[in-house]
Structure 1
Amino acid sequence: MDHLPTDAEPNKPGTGSNASRTPVGASPHEEPYVLPDEPRVSTSVRRRVEGCYNRLARTGLPQPLESLLLAEFDLDVSADYGGLPIRNPWGKASGQLSMTDTQVAEDVAAGLGFIVLKTVIAQDAMGQQTMHEWAPREARMVVEPIVGRSGRRGWTVTWKGRGWWKSFDEYLELIRIARSLASRNSPAEPPTLIVPSCKYHLPASADEPWRHGEYEYTTQRLLEAWQKEGPAQENTPMPLEKDFSPTLAGDERAGQQEQVLRWLRTVPQLIRQAAVGSDGCVKTESQAARAERAVTASCPVHVGLKIFNALFDDAFQIAMLRAIHEPGGDRPDFYIYADRLFDPNREFDGKRGVAYGGPDLSDRNLRVMTQFAALCRTGQITSPLPWSATGNIESGRMALEYALRGATSFQLHTFFQLPASEFDMQSGPRTDKVLHKLYFHPESGFVVWMHHLAEVLSLPRRPLRFRDVVGRLELLPPGAG
């Protein structure tokens, strides 16, 4: 019998707490999608995709899967995570499904492009954590259907529990084991990229000092663990996601817009200084421009900010994206957009305030990134940063909606937890089932929609490259969607 992941429980449609929700601060609903409901491809392509889908549902996925995609569909799925090369664009987002070596081993064997480990809570050398409330020693998850404001149906996961609750040393050991597994067992090159995730101290007001000791101790220990294993990636900087989690939206720290923008402008500098052994002092722009450029150039950490959906309107989401793109040496190297919505009024398991996903999440994310893509296209944002998409990515079609707006990779969490009945591949590891449906579903899969885009965008063939689709939203001809 195929069980849901640890402690996850499915609810019947319409019976759960997530049956219908309205995102706080959202604009009146507008459909943000540019792709049509059905792919426009030749009968030959459709038949080949359907045949492959049915065959692999019986036989399982071959490895490396990229070879099959290239041989049967002339499709090159090489991608980038935050500017670092990965074998394919699919990754597992940070959460309950990336906190053990067994979970990592399954994902590496299945050939995921990258894995973001469970978020650890930063601490200083004495073990003190200012964000300790994000490390409760409990975790319970419920998987349930959800209906968006558009009427579209989807899935969401509600859980009790936040960040890593085991010891910091155990997290460091997980990094070492995960790196070793990726180096030894990845089915092809480049090996699965292992990405630590961390929640660092964030001051609640402008008067509260930054806890430099947490940044220094945590960053240096993470880097030591990451560099210890994985010789195949020894020249690669450590990618690190600074997690602004969805539950942060409901915390009093996030109630002031200027304070949130200050976090985004300051955190990358603190992480880099910690990684290169700086004295930890935050310098003014006039003092530090040259020093920041030097730190950025030599930093062994590739800093990514995981942007959250704040309890404000879309204009503030754009303000956050503008803040991380401001010129200077303290910009992040990349970002992740955007974590789950937050409902401060809902309760789960006796706790008020619930993060949730589903169609409302992808609707808002795509709406905001459409606006931001227009700012980049018109030159209002110079040197746009690479970004990884997250948020209700439940099909290849949805992934490509994000890619058209500039996403170079996709990280999923909820989709890995759906009931077995949602997958046509009924045997084999859960990650294989997910990739089978994401790639090969005849109506919603990545392969058929890449061929759709090849036609409407007149993309080069042999091979058809995923990288050629990224950021091509403005080139879609009228009526293509």
Structure 2
Amino acid sequence: MMNGPILPARPLIGKETVSRIEADYDRFREGMPDQVEQYILDRYGVDVSSRYGAASIRNPFGKASGQLSVNLEQVKADTKAGLGFVVLKTVIAENQYGSRSMKEWAVKETRMVVNQITGKETGELGWNVTWRGRGWYGSLKAYLDFFRAALAEGRTRGTVIVPSCKYHLPSQSDPGYQLDEYRYTTQMLYKVWKEAGEPGPLQMEKDFSPTVAGSGLASQKYTVLEWLRQVPYLIKTSVPESDIQLGIKLMNTMFDDRFQLESVRTLLEEGRARPDYVVYANRLYDSHLKFLGKEGAAYGGPDLSTRNLRILSRLRKLEIQGKLRSPIPPISGTGNVHSGKMAAEYALRGAESVQMHTIFQRPNSAFGMRTGSKTERALHELYFHPAEGLITWMLHLKEHQEIDCPDGIIRFRDLASWYRNKGREYFLYMV
């Protein structure tokens, strides 16, 4: 059984191609060309356009919800740099009177520590950000104003902007869902989306984080599974005719792989309503990790991507074997996406996009680009790094005929269907 990377340690492409990529990597240290996606298509025959949920995106790279998408200046920098999409900081749901049952999450807690971390499973060195996660600390009204302005900014630059929300989750001491919070918050987001003239249904993420949902609820498996069965339905029925494209962002639970698979299957097979897409999966959790004087914190790095890729591989195997009741919806991958190569690993398991946070917090010395914002530096690395960049690894797959390219162009979206085609045997016999 093989649960490691699909791609080899080093790319196998022609020397002339390597030289061209190296030249571009050096040439763009002072800044990448405008319309870089068109440049990549023209120069390399690589089409990086893709899809995030139902939305077409110029490239597969997005910023995950967090402290780096909490104000308009950050969004402007990201759209200027050319991200495919940005997920705004997670707002905490409230009712029409401004009451929040999860108000403990609406606090300003921004201290974060960036450090390098060694994977326990692989020994690989990576980057990690440790923090105590919290949501949007302002009012819902302030968030709606931010959302409205961010949509306008994204529209001018061709970057998809999507809100994120954390809703009330019941417990034994607090039974029943706060339906007024679900309805009011979702309807207000929907109203802004429609007034902004955005095409199609409201697209949003529900931040599902049972490991850090508060009050120790993640230790109760039954409770977590019941949340997964109920919450998508409550959100989708809050707007007219379920006019919403809902992405459920899953986090890793504190339990083993078997329960992780069970939780995904519960979400997709047992719920009253299926999500339209899944964001998989952010953060591991260590209840013994001490941070800011308290025990228990989320972390990432190589162990996160190792586990995520393993779970996605097993899900694809179940799908190919016909053991799932219905196909897996579109996936946006997240977790230790530190390179174009890692983005390709997620794509080969069916992810049509990837979203990142830690890469945008690495020190400037960790990037090849000498100038520009962290987002610009990250995109330069993700595209053009000669050994780890997306261009290199898409051309590797093309050269080895893993992806059909009848017109000579290799497309990122075709990587995301590899598991159904030439990768089918890998998932049947190697996973």
**CA distance in structure 2 between the aligned counterparts of 1:355 and 1:448, rounded to whole angstroms:** 32
Quote the offset at 1:128 in angstroms.
Answer: 1.6
Q: Does 1:273 align with 2:244?
A: no
Amino acid at match of 1:248: V
Q: Which residue of 2 aligns with 1:15?
A: none
Q: Deviations along 1:37-58, whole A, 9 cap, x unmatched?
A: 1011111111111111110113
Unaligned runs of 5+ in 2: none
**CA distance in structure 1 between the aligned counterparts of 2:301 and 2:417, rounded to whole angstroms:** 24
Q: Does 1:459 align with 2:428?
A: no
The answer to whether the 8 Å contact 1:389/1:411 transfers is: yes
Q: Does 1:242 align with 2:206?
A: yes
Q: Secondary structure at the match of 1:338?
A: strand
Q: Which residue of 1 aligns with 2:222?
A: 258
Quote the offset at 1:407 in angstroms.
Answer: 0.4
- Structure-2 change in CA distance of 1:206 and 1:449 (3 Å): farther
Amino acid at match of 2:331: W
**CA distance in structure 2 between the aligned counterparts of 1:373 and 1:443, rounded to whole angstroms:** 27
Q: Which residue of 2 aligns with 1:224?
A: 191
**CA distance in structure 2 between the aligned counterparts of 1:30 and 1:139, rounded to whole angstroms:** 39
The answer to whether the 8 Å contact 1:346/1:354 transfers is: yes
Q: Which residue of 1 aligns with 2:115?
A: 144
- Structure-2 change in CA distance of 1:139 and 1:37 (3 Å): same
2:38 to 47, 56, 67: 67
Q: Secondary structure at the match of 2:306?
A: helix
Q: Deviations along 1:152-204, whole A, 9 cap, x unmatched?
A: 000110124411111211111110000011112x1xxxx21111000001111
**CA distance in structure 2 between the aligned counterparts of 1:211 and 1:246, rounded to whole angstroms:** 17
Taking structure 1 as the reference length, the TM-score comes to: 0.84
Quote the offset at 1:383 in angstroms.
Answer: 2.2
1:364 to 286, 299, 307: 307
Q: Which residue of 2 aligns with 1:13?
A: none
Q: Which residue of 2 aligns with 1:386?
A: 330
Q: Does 1:374 align with 2:338?
A: no
Quote the offset at 1:244 in angstroms.
Answer: 1.5
The answer to whether the 8 Å contact 2:54/2:245 transfers is: no
Q: Which residue of 1 aligns with 2:144?
A: 172
Quote the offset at 1:334 in angstroms.
Answer: 0.7
Aligned residues, how many? 423
**CA distance in structure 2 between the aligned counterparts of 1:261 and 1:135, rounded to whole angstroms:** 25
**CA distance in structure 2 between the aligned counterparts of 1:114 and 1:412, rounded to whole angstroms:** 11
- Structure-2 change in CA distance of 1:246 and 1:400 (3 Å): farther
2:106 to 125, 135, 138: 135
Quote the offset at 1:246 in angstroms.
Answer: 6.5
Quote the offset at 1:247 in angstroms.
Answer: 4.5
Quote the offset at 1:327 in angstroms.
Answer: 6.8
Q: Does 1:212 align with 2:179?
A: yes
Amino acid at match of 1:129: R
Quote the offset at 1:228 in angstroms.
Answer: 2.5
Amino acid at match of 1:154: G
Taking structure 2 as the reference length, the TM-score comes to: 0.94
> % of aligned pairs identical?
46
The answer to whether the 8 Å contact 1:205/1:253 transfers is: no
Q: Which residue of 2 aligns with 1:154?
A: 126
Q: Deviations along 1:328-386, whole A, 9 cap, x unmatched?
A: 76111111000100111112112221100000000110111111110111111222211
Q: Secondary structure at the match of 2:275?
A: coil
- Structure-2 change in CA distance of 1:182 and 1:450 (3 Å): same
Q: Which residue of 2 aligns with 1:34?
A: 6
Q: Does 1:99 align with 2:44?
A: no
The answer to whether the 8 Å contact 1:250/1:353 transfers is: no
Q: Secondary structure at the match of 1:34?
A: coil
- Structure-2 change in CA distance of 1:362 and 1:249 (3 Å): farther
**CA distance in structure 2 between the aligned counterparts of 1:246 and 1:62, rounded to whole angstroms:** 42
Q: Deviations along 1:382-440, whole A, 9 cap, x unmatched?
A: 22211100000000111111111110000000000000000111111221111000000
Q: Secondary structure at the match of 2:69?
A: coil
Q: Deviations along 1:281-331, whole A, 9 cap, x unmatched?
A: xxxxxxxxxxxxxxxxx3222111111100110011111111122177611
The answer to whether the 8 Å contact 2:119/2:302 transfers is: yes
The answer to whether the 8 Å contact 2:229/2:270 transfers is: no
1:199 to 149, 166, 176: 166
Quote the offset at 1:31 in angstroms.
Answer: 5.7
The answer to whether the 8 Å contact 1:90/1:411 transfers is: yes
**CA distance in structure 1 between the aligned counterparts of 2:275 and 2:264, rounded to whole angstroms:** 11
Unaligned runs of 5+ in 1: 1-28, 277-297
The answer to whether the 8 Å contact 1:122/1:199 transfers is: yes
Q: Which moved more, 1:91-100 or 1:462-471?
A: 462-471
Amino acid at match of 2:363: P
Amino acid at match of 2:11: P
Q: Which residue of 1 aligns with 2:386?
A: 442
Structure 1 ranges of 4+ moved more than 4 A: none
**CA distance in structure 1 between the aligned counterparts of 2:92 and 2:202, rounded to whole angstroms:** 18
Q: Which residue of 1 aligns with 2:416?
A: 470
The answer to whether the 8 Å contact 1:336/1:387 transfers is: yes
The answer to whether the 8 Å contact 1:264/1:320 transfers is: yes
Amino acid at match of 1:243: D
Quote the offset at 1:269 in angstroms.
Answer: 1.0
**CA distance in structure 2 between the aligned counterparts of 1:129 and 1:157, rounded to whole angstroms:** 28
- Structure-2 change in CA distance of 1:380 and 1:55 (3 Å): same
Q: Which residue of 2 aligns with 1:19?
A: none
**CA distance in structure 2 between the aligned counterparts of 1:251 and 1:366, rounded to whole angstroms:** 29
